[in-house]
Amino acid sequence: MSDGLMCATQAAQAAARVMARCDQLAEISETPGFLTRVYLSSEHLRANALVGEWMAAAGMTVWQDSVGNICGRYEGLKPGAPALLLGSHLDTVRNAGRFDGMLGVLTAIEIVQSLQAAGQRLPLAVEIIGFGDEEGTRFGITLLGSRGITGTWPDSWIAHPDDDGITVAQAMAAVGLDASAVRQAAREVKDIVAYLELHIEQGPCLEREELPLGVVTAINGAHRLNCRFVGEAGHAGTVPMTHRKDALAAAAEWMVFIEQITPQHSPQLVATVGSLQCSPGAVNVIPGEVALTLDVRGPEDQPLATLLSALLSKAEAIARRRGLIFSAEEYYHIPATRCDAGLQAALNRAVTAVQGRSLLLPSGAGHDAIAIAERWPVGMLFVRCDRGISHHPAESVMEKDVASAIQAYDRVVRDVATT
């Protein structure tokens, strides 16, 4: 696999092109001056067209599928060979950065472009997808692009409205897509061998390790719960400290416990109380009731479930000792997504070859790979981003990191598509 590998100069030129194209795509926004590009908007279709032109220039056959993903295929040695799928998303949050998603699509195009320039075909075909919806910004449901590919759109999705009451089906019709044809986007399992996604880290770990690249072990699973401590409101002046059922003091005791115990379970687990409402909420009244949320995440389901049950039983113990009632209701759960061991190993080899050592890390954020992993093995390569900032206009990556990422991506694609 040493043949035809991209050299540092070629990777630097490719990185410069990727950075310029990220800037060009960032201009395609519904709001001048900052970047917002949502699913099934005219900007989405314009971005697809531009990315499609770049795919075609790299020697790919290009089509837009029935859910609005832009797709390209570079044939393998034998026409019709199964494909190694590369990609990421082209939609954004509101007031977004220009690399989240787009970097993965544009770097993949560079890999194919270099194959084409060398006149090389691999045993596997290489396909690239720019997914139309990963963020869920418009409809509040997520991964519509990748779930189109897996054929796992629930029937209810086409009737799902956006904030203006426009349904997915109506929005599809407005851009020339047919909601009754959604299933046609689904790909046969046998036609795709594996999926690789390059993405910015959206966290601070690589920066802390002073490494441009890392290999993802799993995409974190998550539980979200609405919790409540119910005690007794009372006069702040007259009820002695020993007679109180202070819901806020109980919540505070629990929060400190959460903060202390979570890293003891595993350094890869995180737990957050992100919102807290205290009632009645007056300076001179003992808090009678506190409603708070709990969000726990981790790369493996069982340790995460163990942490969650430890946190909840502690809350109950705190409530019991203080004479309060605790309740919790889970309203969201997504299991962890494991990255394929073979693809992790291939990514590790590539990353080690490029930067001397590799780093394994879980992904705290969701990605298209969550959906794709239901059908095919997935692997992910993370690129360092400035201070871990993402979903924000200040999102930024260094061009030299992008060059390293392209070199590693090039290696791993040749490796996986050849073996």
- The stretch near Zn ion (CB under 5 A) out of 101-109, 261-269, 290-298, 299-307 is 101-109
Measure Cα distances from 304 to 10, 205, 312, 328 in Å. Answer: 43, 20, 12, 16
Contact by Cβ (8 Å): 5, 411: yes
**DSSP code at position 151:** T
Contact by Cβ (8 Å): 255, 262: no
Write the binding mask 44 to 83 for Zn ion: x where contact by CB under 5 A, - elsewhere: ----------------------------------------
- The stretch near Zn ion (CB under 5 A) out of 96-104, 170-178, 239-247, 409-417 is 96-104
Measured from the CB atom, is 71 or 219 closer to Zn ion? 219
- Could you give the CA distance from residue 163 to residue 178 in angstroms, rounded to a whole number? 21
- Could you give the CA distance from residue 215 to residue 345 in angstroms, rounded to a whole number? 9
Measured from the CB atom, is 137 or 217 closer to Zn ion? 137
**Percentages of the chain per state (helix, strand, coil), in multiples of 5:** 40, 25, 35
- The stretch near Zn ion (CB under 5 A) out of 93-101, 210-218, 274-282, 345-353 is 93-101
Shortest distance, CB of residue 134 to Zn ion, whole angstroms?
6
Phi-psi map region of 388: left, alpha, beta (phi>0 left; psi -120 to 50 alpha): left
Give the containing element (helix H, strand E) for 351. helix 341-355
Shortest distance, CB of residue 366 to Zn ion, whole angstroms?
8
- Residue 91 contacts Zn ion per CB under 5 A: no
Shortest distance, CB of residue 130 to Zn ion, whole angstroms?
12
Contact by Cβ (8 Å): 188, 376: no
- Could you give the CA distance from residue 6 to residue 18 in angstroms, rounded to a whole number? 15
H runs (alpha helix) in 118-246: 144-150, 168-174, 205-209
Shortest distance, CB of residue 3 to Zn ion, whole angstroms?
33
Shortest distance, CB of residue 397 to Zn ion, whole angstroms?
13
State in Å, rounded, how far the first CA of the chain is from the last one: 10
**Burial status of residue 316 (CB atoms within 10 A of its CB: 0-12, 13-18, 19 or more):** middle
Place of tokens 């981790």: 298
Binds Zn ion (CB under 5 A): choice among 52, 101, 148, 362: 101
**DSSP code at position 155:** G
Residues 367-386 that bind Zn ion (CB under 5 A): none
- The stretch near Zn ion (CB under 5 A) out of 61-69, 97-105, 157-165, 354-362 is 97-105
- The stretch near Zn ion (CB under 5 A) out of 54-62, 94-102, 296-304, 404-412 is 94-102
Shortest distance, CB of residue 354 to Zn ion, whole angstroms?
22
- Residue 395 contacts Zn ion per CB under 5 A: no
Strand partners for 194: 84
- The stretch near Zn ion (CB under 5 A) out of 98-106, 149-157, 158-166, 171-179 is 98-106
Q: Cα torsion for 20, 25, 28, 34, to the nearest 10°? A: -70
Residues 186-215 that bind Zn ion (CB under 5 A): none
Shortest distance, CB of residue 396 to Zn ion, whole angstroms?
15
β-pairing verdict for 325-334 and 276-279: unpaired
Shortest distance, CB of residue 201 to Zn ion, whole angstroms?
11
Shortest distance, CB of residue 164 to Zn ion, whole angstroms?
24
Report the alpha-carbon angle 221-194-126, nearest 5.
135
- Residue 100 contacts Zn ion per CB under 5 A: yes
Provide the binding-site residues for Zn ion, judged by CB under 5 A.
100-101
